[in-house]
Structures are given as structure tokens and as C-alpha cells.
Amino acid sequence: MIDWLNDNWILLIAPVVVFLAFCIIGLWARRVVYNRLTELMAKSGWSGKEVLVHTTRGPFFFWFVLLGAYVALMISELPEAGKDIAVKIVASIFIISLIWLLIILSERLLTLYSEQIRTPRPVGKHLATAVRVAILVIGILILIDFWGWPVTPIILLLSALILIALVASRDAILNIFSGFEITAGRLAKVGDFIKLGSGDEGYVIDIGWRNIKIKSPDQNLIVIPNSKLVKETIVNYGYPLKKAASSFQFYTRLHLKQLTGLKASNLLELIEIIKTAPDAVIYYHTYHFLEEHQYLTPEPANDFALWIDDSLDDRVLAEKLANIDTLAYFSVSTLRTALLLVLEQHLEGHPELAKKSANRDFYFIKSISFVLPTSYVATDLREFVEVIRNISIGSLYYHVFESRLRLKKRSNDFSVWIKDSFGEDDLADRIDMLFPYTYTLEALRSAIIEQVEKRIK
């Protein structure tokens, strides 16, 4: 063995020297190439330069090592069969390292660009998985072909599996690509307030790889498939407005009518019953009248004025009662006093009307009220205006008209909230200045919406 080494040492040293030479050249080449590459990338301004440099720097030297091993094997005196296998192993290691590099590089670049275009995390994750699988499959096919194994059956099997997967997940695929269109096209972002042609509206709280989630003003969660969303007409109002110091909970009031058994056949009886009737009776025939007959405009009256006009044919008294501004009184008792003052003064000047029989009796009705919370909550002015579009007439009446009885002042719940939660005194005052008698409740709703929209646009 020693004699053989003495005679053939040059054959052993040569491959080792070649291998070491390539290692040294690799270190020198990496420094030169990457210094130059860094300069070029700095000039180009490409955002992915750091990812490319950091990802390929290590494998670049490793490939020189593999190249040195390949050349060393080729000039060695190994048997041809062993040399062929060793060369194929080195080449296979190179292919595997290249596949691994492409997978890492693609994942890092996808992560970089996903953050720049704000791609939803699930979409970016699934796209990275798809790219990783594609590169891995191509690499395996190259290795199989390199070793001379049959590739056609594997390709056919993979094709069949891919076709089956595509057919089975066609809806999911449509949603994924639609998700890209949503984010890349800036149709919507998390935090945007959007309104769809279908009528759905609210803040976008999540954009997934399959669907988008919207929180509506009534606090419901709306989940819409991405493929359906891109077909919708979308109005995007942008980012949320200033949040209220406290959210506004919308309420509504239901009324149950109850006959009291009280009735008046003449003006004197009407006066006596008004004096002693419960507040709920006076409320029904005045405040509730405005809600029940909200379509009467201008100058809606009250039940007492209508009865005197229709059944006693006393238009002068009826007009005096109709001219009482119901909303100017912040308690039922003071309103009762105002009604009695008009009736008694008129009766003093026309005593003959005291017992004049009416064409029909006036039946006193009591209003039993139930205040109920709705599902609507507003945390900013955009949510507020969208809720106003959808609340019932009863809810609107409760917050605009009945609020005066609770607040004891000429204001309403909306104005108080806007002033206290946002400091928007001007907007609050403009809503307060909407004179109710010149609007129906639906017209009043539109006027409030118009005032708020002028502020948030």
C-alpha cells in the first residue's frame, strides 16, 4: 500500500489541490461578485435587493465547493462506475440546493411584496405554499429525469391529481384570485367603510383568502365570498372617522293603546276630564299624535283640536289649540296647563258653548309605552348616518321628539350626543334648528342625513 502511494501520490494530490483551488476561488469570487452586485442593486432601487443578496450569498460559495468536488472527481483515478455515481450524487446535491434556494427566495420575496400591497395574510400564506409545492415538484421531476428513471407516468399522475384538485376547489380558487383583485385593486382595506349594491354596508374587519368580513351598523357580521364581492357595485367611504367618546345606542318605543272609559260629549266635559286625566292620556292625544299622524304637514295639530273642529264646528278654538307648540313644553303637566288655559279662556268668552253637544263623543285613550333597545349602535358619524337611514319611524320619533320630555330642554338625543362625544357644536345646533312642524318624519330623517353628510364629506 505504501509503495502504491509512493508511485501514485500525484494522482491523489491533484484532485485535492483542484478542490481546494475552487474553494479559494469561490471565496474570492463571492466577495467580488457580491460587492459589484450590491453597488448595482443600490443604483436600481429595487426593494428586493437585500433579500436576494442575503439569500444567495451562502449557496454561492457552496456551489463553488460542489463544482470543485465535481472537477476533482472527473480528474481522479476512480473506477468509471464509481466515478459516474459520485458525479451524479454531486450533481443531485446541486439540484437539491438550487431547489431549496428557489423556495426560500420565493417565500421571502412573496412576503416582501405581500406586505407592500397589503395582501391578506391567509392569501399570502396559501400563495407561498402553492409556489413552494410547484418548485418542489419541478425539482423532483428534474432529479428523476437526471437519474434516468421514467418520468412520464409520474407526470400523468400529477396532472390527473392537479386536475381533480382544480375541479374540486374551483370556488376556492376563484375566491383566492378575487382576494388578490380586492387588495391589489384597492377595492377595500381593513378599516374601510363600504356600501355594496346589494344594500349590505359596514366596516371591513377582515379580508381572508376566501371571503371578506363586514361589521354592519346593527352589529351583525356579514361574510361575503371574494368572488361575489368583486361583482358587486362598491362605494368605499374610506377609513373610519373620529370615534365617539361614547357610542350611541338607538332605542325605539312601542305604544299600546288602552281605552280609559272616559268620554266627553261637550266642551265642559272635555275640560273637566283633561284636568284630572293621567299624564299618559294627555301624552297620547298630543305627543303621540305627532308620531301617529306624522304625514300631516305643515302645522300638525292634536286630537283635541281636530275633535273640536270636526264635532263642535268651532274653528276658532280649534285653531287656537292647534297653534300650541307641543314640542315647546318639556313636561306633560305644563302642556296640560297650556291646553286648559286656551280652553277656559275661550269658554269664558263663549259660555253658550259649554254644553253644546258634539256630533260625536271624544273618547280618551291612554298610551302605555315600552322603550326597547335596537340592535343599532353608532361609534362615529358615518355609522350614525347609515343607521339613521335604517331605523324605524318610532325610533326616530323617540330620539328627536320624546327626548325633549326626558332632557327637559329644546334639544334632542342626536344633538346632545354629537355635541358631547365629538365637540361638534355647529352640527348639533344645525340639527336642533330643523323645525319639526315643517317636515314629515321621513322628510326630517332626510334632513338630518343631509346635515351629517355635509360634515363628513
d(CA 30, CA 39): 14
435 by Cβ neighbours in 10 Å (0-12 / 13-18 / 19+) ranks as exposed
Cβ–Cβ under 8 Å, residues 199 and 186: no
Contacts of 193 (CB under 8 A, 6+ apart): 201, 202, 203, 204, 236, 237, 238, 239, 240, 382, 383
Helix (H, G, I), strand (E, B) or coil at 302: coil
Contacts of 28 (CB under 8 A, 6+ apart): none
Q: What is the helix (H) or strand (E) element at residue 50, kind and residue range? A: helix 49-75
Q: DSSP label at 410?
A: S
Residue 5 has a pLDDT of 45
Residue 165 has a pLDDT of 56
Residue 453 has a pLDDT of 87
d(CA 281, CA 366): 4
d(CA 454, CA 361): 49
Which triple of cell numbers denotes residue 258?
288602552
Helix (H, G, I), strand (E, B) or coil at 196: strand
d(CA 85, CA 147): 10
Sign of the torsion formed by the C-alpha atoms of 430, 448, 440 and 270: negative
Cβ–Cβ under 8 Å, residues 279 and 334: no
Main-chain dihedrals φ then ψ at residue 190, nearest 5 degrees: -60, 130
d(CA 135, CA 127): 12
Residue 446 has a pLDDT of 92
* Angle formed by the axes of helices 303-311 and 267-276, nearest 10°: 170
Residue 219 has a pLDDT of 75
The string of pLDDT tens digits covering residues 242-266 is 788 899 999 998 888 899 999 999 9
Strands 193-196 and 248-264: unpaired
Helix (H, G, I), strand (E, B) or coil at 257: strand
Helix (H, G, I), strand (E, B) or coil at 127: helix
Residue position matching grid coordinates 286630537:
303
The string of pLDDT tens digits covering residues 22-57 is 888 888 888 888 888 777 777 766 666 777 777 878
Which triple of cell numbers denotes residue 380?
362615529
What pTM was computed for the model?
A: 0.52
With a cut of 50, list the residues of the chain below it in pLDDT.
3-5, 7, 9
Residue 161 has a pLDDT of 63
Cβ–Cβ under 8 Å, residues 386 and 217: yes
Strands 211-215 and 201-207: antiparallel
Q: How many other C-beta atoms are found inside a 10 Å radius of the C-beta of residue 182?
A: 22
Contacts of 448 (CB under 8 A, 6+ apart): 388, 414, 431, 434
Strands 234-236 and 201-207: unpaired
Q: What is the DSSP string of 359-402?
A: SSPEEEEEEEEEEEEEEEEESSHHHHHHHHHHS-HHHHHIIIII
Phi-psi label, residue 194: left if phi above 0, alpha if psi -120 to 50, beta otherwise: beta
Nearest CA among 324, 289, 318 for reference residue 303:
289
Helix (H, G, I), strand (E, B) or coil at 240: coil
Strands 221-225 and 362-378: unpaired
**CA 148 vs CA 59, 85, 95, 142, 240: distances in Å:** 26, 12, 15, 10, 62
Q: What is the helix (H) or strand (E) element at residue 236, kind and residue range? A: strand 234-236
